[in-house]
Chain A
C-alpha cells in the first residue's frame, strides 16, 4: 500500500485561550532559525477565515499550521513530499514530526506556557483522494497498520478509531485514547531522544 501525504493533527487543550497572532512571529522565527531539516519557505496568514487553516508555515516537504478547521484548534502537520519505507515508517515520521512541532510550540517563550496539546486525540488523514478514497474498504485495508502503530504509541492503553464516512472528504480517522496522554510521553513512545 503506497500511503503518502499523511496529515496529522493534535488538538489544543484549551482552545478558548488560543490567540493566533503570536504564531506569525513564531513561524517566521522557525524559518530564521531553520529549526528542522525541512526546507521552510514562508508564512501564510489566514486568521481572517472562520474555521480556516489559521497560520500556515509553508515548507517544501511539509506544511505546519495552527489550524482551526471545523472550529477545532490544533497543530496540523501536512506531509507533501514522498516518503520511503513501510507504512509504519511513514506513520511514525508524520506523527513524530507533528509531536516535535507541538513540543516546540509548548516550549516557545512567546507563549509563556499557555499552549498545551492533548495527546489523547489525534486526527490522521491522507491528503490524496486517488490513493486513499474515503471508503470502508480503505479503512479495512489500513486498519491493521493503524492498530499496529497506535498500539505502540499508546503503550497498550485502550483507544478507539472512528472514521467519518462522507465520501467527499479525504480519508480520515480519529483516534481517541481512553486516558490522557501528553506530548512528551507520546514522543518517548515514538523513540525520540
Chain B
C-alpha cells in the first residue's frame, strides 16, 4: 500500500545485517511469486507466518454487520495470501522480542511503524512480543527492513517454529533469582532461530527462562520447554545449570510441564534443546494439529522414554562451538545504571504517587535502585507514548526496557530518588496508572477484536472489568487487590485463563433462536510458583453478567476467608458445587424482547454471532520441509531469470544451477535425516535414491529431467553466455517441476515413503 515500499531496501541496505537483509529479499520475492500465481497459497501462508505475518478476523472477505453477513469487496479480488485469506485484507504482524528486551532506538522504530503501517496502537502480548494490527501484506517487507536495521527479526514469530523465547523481566536485578538468565535466554533464542533442526515441527514450540522457582514472572510450567536457574556445588565449585521442564502448555487441555532433569549444566543447555528439537521434529504428530504440541509426545512416550530418546539424540549430535560460545560473554548483557543509587527522601507525596509506588515499584537487589512497571491498559500503547517512554528511559535509566508477560513494560535501574519525577513524566503521557500486577491489571488475548478464532470479546470484557475495578480500587479490600484476572476469547487460552485466580474464556449459547455470548468461569488457578496449578471450570455465564460474577466471588472471599487463606484454598474449601450454586441465578438470560443487551457483546453493538469465526492460523498449515525446499528452489530460478533480464548471464546461470541442487536436496529429505550442503554429495545421493531407483522418472520423459541436473553439475564451473544461461534456467524450471511431481507421487503412494526418518 505505501508508496515508499520500493525504497526502504536501498535506504537501509548498509544498516541491516546481511543475512537478515537477504531473508527479507527472499520474502519479498515470494510475495511477488504469489501475486503472479507461481507460489502455492498454502506454502505462501506458512512462509508469511514464519515471518510473523498473521491473518486477522474477516480476512476471508466476510463480516457480519449486525444485520447480515456482508461481503468485503477487496480490490485484489481472487488473490489470496493463504487458504481462504484475501490478499488485501488487513493482517497482524507479530514482532518477536527475545526476553522482552528492547533498546530505546528499537522502541523509536516501533513507534514509527505503529503509526505508518498499523492503526496507531502497538500491543504487548502475553509472551513479551509486540503485535501490530490492520497491516497490509504489501507493507510487511518494508516494516521488516526497518526492524532489521535496528536488529529485530520477525522470523519464526508465528508458524510451526520456536516462538519468542521469554524470560523474567527482572532478570539481573531480582533479589530472588539464582542468577541472571538473560544471556542464556538470548543465546537460546539465537541458536534455535532458523536452525535446521527446528524447521520441521508439527506445531509451535515455546520456551521460557526463569531466575527462580517460586515467582511467576516467566511461567515456565506452561511452556514446551521451561528452564529455571539452578546451581550445584561440585568439587567445591559452584556450577550453573537449569532445572529443565518439558511438555507444558495451555490450550484447550492444559498440561503442566514435567521435570526433565533437575540439573542440566549450562554448557549442556543448547545441545539438549537441539536434541529435543530433533526428536520433536521426528516423532511429533504432524497431521492432527490438535495433538501436535510436544506435550502430547511427552505424554504418549512417558518422561522416562522421552528422556532416553533425547539423551540418545544428544550423544549423536556433531559438536557445535555455538553451544558454549555465549558462556564467555555472560557479562555482555549486564546493564549499567545512568544515575547513582539513592533513596527516596521522606517528603510528602500525593496519594496518586503513593499508590503508584505501592503497586508499580519494586526494589532491586542492588540497593538504591528500583524497577518501575509501566501499566499498559490491555497491553496497548500509542506511538506517541512509545516515544515518550523512550525519552523517559533515556532520561532516567540509560537505554533499555523490557516487556512483561502481563502486557506491561518495566524500566530497571531507576535511582530511587528519581521516582517522583519519573511518575510525573509517565503521568504526562498517560502512563502513570497504578495497579500493576493487581486485580485491576486484567490480561486479555485479542479475542473477537482481531482473532479469527475468537468466540467472545475478551478485550471488551477485560476493558469493562478494568474500568469498574479501577473506579473501586481505592476501597478494594487488600485480600483481593493481588488477585489476577485473565480473559481468553476462546478455549485456546492465549489469555492464560487457566493460571488466573479468576479466569474466563469465551463460549456461546443458543437461546430462543439467538446466539448469546458467554464466558466460562475458571476459578482457582495459580499464578505464583511459575504457574503452579490450573483452575477449574465452574460453568458458563452470559458475558454481560461477568462483572457481577467477579463482584460476587470477591465479596464472598473477603467475607468468609479464614486466617491467611489464599483464594485458591478458599475456592477449594467451599467447593465447586457451592460456587455453582452461588452463580446459578447469573446464568439466566432474559428474553430478547425484555433485554436485548445480552445479545450483543461488550464494546460491540452488533447483534452477536459466531458466524465471523474463521479458520485459525495459530500454527499455520503443516508444510513439509520438502515443500519449503521446492518453493525456495522455485524462487531461486525466478531470481535467475531476473538476473538474466538485468544482463548478468554468469550469475543467472549459476543461480539456476543452485536452484536445481536445492530442489534435489529438498527431495532427499524424504530419504535421509542428515542432509548435506555439499553439491557433490547431493548429486550422488540423488542419483542413488532417485535416479537409479527410477523414482524420479517422469511417466513419459523418463530420466530426462534428472539428466539436466547431472549435466549442470558437471559443468558447474563453466562460464555462461546469455544463451547457455537461458538454457540452464529452462532446464532448472523443468527439473523443479519434475521434483514437485515426484514428491506428489510419493506423497499419494499407498506404500509409505521410506520410514527411515
Binding site for B on A (CB under 8 A): 2, 4-5, 24-25, 28, 31-32, 39, 41-53, 56, 58, 60, 63, 69-70, 80-82, 127-131, 168, 170
Please give, as numbers and ranges, the residues of chain A lying within 8 Å of B66 by CB-CB distance. Answer: 28, 32
A91 and B206 CA atoms in complex are apart in Å by 48
A44-B382 contact given A32-B67, A52-B121, CB 8 Å threshold: no
What are the interface flags for B1-30 relative to A under an 8 Å C-beta threshold, 1 for contact and 0 otherwise? 111100110010000000000000000000
B620 at the interface (CB under 8 A from A): no
Asked whether B75 lies within 8 Å of A60 as measured between CB atoms, the reply is: yes
The answer to whether A24 and B3 have CB atoms under 8 Å apart is no
Q: Is B484 an interface residue (CB 8 A)?
A: no
Q: When A31-B70, A58-B119 are in contact, do A41 and B3 touch as well, CB less than 8 Å?
A: no
Interface size on B, residues (CB 8 A): 53
CA distance A82 to B89 in the complex (A): 16
- Note all chain B residues with C-beta closer than 8 A to A45: 449, 459-460, 463, 603
B10 → chain A closest CB, angstroms? 10
A-contact bits for B297-327, CB 8 A (1 contact / 0 none): 0000000000000000000000000000000
List the 9 shortest-distance A-B pairs measured between CB atoms, nearest first. Answer: A50-B430, A130-B4, A53-B120, A48-B377, A4-B3, A25-B605, A32-B65, A45-B603, A51-B430
Instruction: Tell me, rounded to whole Å, the shortest Cβ–Cβ distance linking B246 to chain A.
Output: 38
Write the chain A residue with the least CB distance to B466: A48
Specify which of A32, A49, A60, A128 is in contact with B430 (CB 8 Å cutoff).
A49
Chain B residues whose C-beta falls within 8 Å of the C-beta of A31 in the assembled complex: 63, 65, 70
A70 to B385, CA, bound (A): 10
Q: How far is the CA of A56 from the CA of B382 in the complex (A)?
A: 13
A25–B600 alpha-carbon span in the complex (Å): 12
Q: Which residues of B contact A49 (CB under 8 A)?
A: 121, 377, 380-382, 430
Kindly provide the distance from the CB of B130 to the nearest chain A CB, expressed in whole angstroms. Answer: 15
Q: How far is the CB of A65 from chain B (nearest CB, A)?
A: 8
* Distance, CA A93 to CA B603, complexed state (A): 32
B4 touches A42 (CB 8 A): no
Instruction: Choose the segment among B108-116, B255-263, B709-717 that binds chain A (4+ C-beta atoms closer than 8 Å).
Output: B108-116
- Among B72, B120, B449, residue most surrounded by chain A Cβ atoms (within 10 Å): B120
A41 engages B72 (CB within 8 Å): yes
Query: Inside 8 A of A129's CB, which chain B residues have their CB?
Result: 112, 116
Q: Least Cβ distance of B41 to chain A in Å?
A: 20
Name which residue of chain B comes closest to A54, CB basis: B120
Cβ-defined contact, A131 with B466, below 8 A: no
Q: Is B654 an interface residue (CB 8 A)?
A: no
Q: What is the predominant secondary structure among interface residues of chain B facing chain A? A: mixed
Interface members, chain B 374-394 (any A CB < 8 Å) = 377-378, 380-382, 384-385, 387
CA distance A41 to B136 in the complex (A): 13
Report the nearest B residue to A48, measured CB to CB: B377
Which residues from chain B sit less than 8 Å from chain A, CB to CB? 1-4, 7-8, 11, 57-58, 63, 65-67, 70, 72-75, 88-90, 108, 111-112, 115-116, 119-121, 133-134, 136, 377-378, 380-382, 384-385, 387, 429-431, 449, 459-460, 463, 466-467, 603-606
Query: Measured between alpha carbons, how far is A153 from B711 in the docked complex, in Å?
Result: 71
Check B449–A44 contact: CB distance below 8 A: yes
Given contacts A51-B430, A129-B112, is CB(A56)–CB(B120) below 8 Å?
yes
A166 to chain B, nearest CB (A): 9
Contact B108 A168 (CB under 8 A): yes
Residue of B nearest to A58 (CB): B134
Q: What's the minimum C-beta distance from A129 to chain B, rounded to whole angstroms?
A: 6
CA gap between A100 and B63 in the complex, in Å: 25
Say yes or no: A24-B605 contact (C-beta < 8 A), given A5-B3, A46-B380: yes
B133 lies within 8 A of A44 (CB): yes
With A128-B116, A130-B7, A131-B4 already in contact, the answer to whether A48 and B449 are too (CB < 8 A) is no
User: Chain A residues with Cβ under 8 A from B605's Cβ?
Assistant: 24-25, 28
Bound CA span A82–B108, Å: 26
Distance (whole angstroms) from the CB of B440 to the closest CB of chain A: 12
6 pairs, CB–CB < 8 Å, chain A vs chain B: A28-B65, A42-B58, A49-B381, A130-B11, A168-B108, A170-B116
CA distance A41 to B57 in the complex (A): 10
* CB-CB nearest in chain B for A63: B119
A96 CB to nearest chain B CB (Å): 20
Whether A81 pairs with B1 at a CB distance below 8 angstroms is yes
B457 CB to nearest chain A CB (Å): 9
A47 to B459, CA, bound (A): 12
A5–B2 touching, CB < 8 Å: yes
| Identity of the chain A residue whose Cβ is nearest the Cβ of B121 in the assembled complex | A46
Smallest CB-CB separation from B136: which chain A residue?
A80
Contacts of B11 in A (CB 8 A): 130
- Cβ–Cβ contact B73 & A39, under 8 A: yes
The CA of A4 and the CA of B445, in the complex, are separated in Å by 34
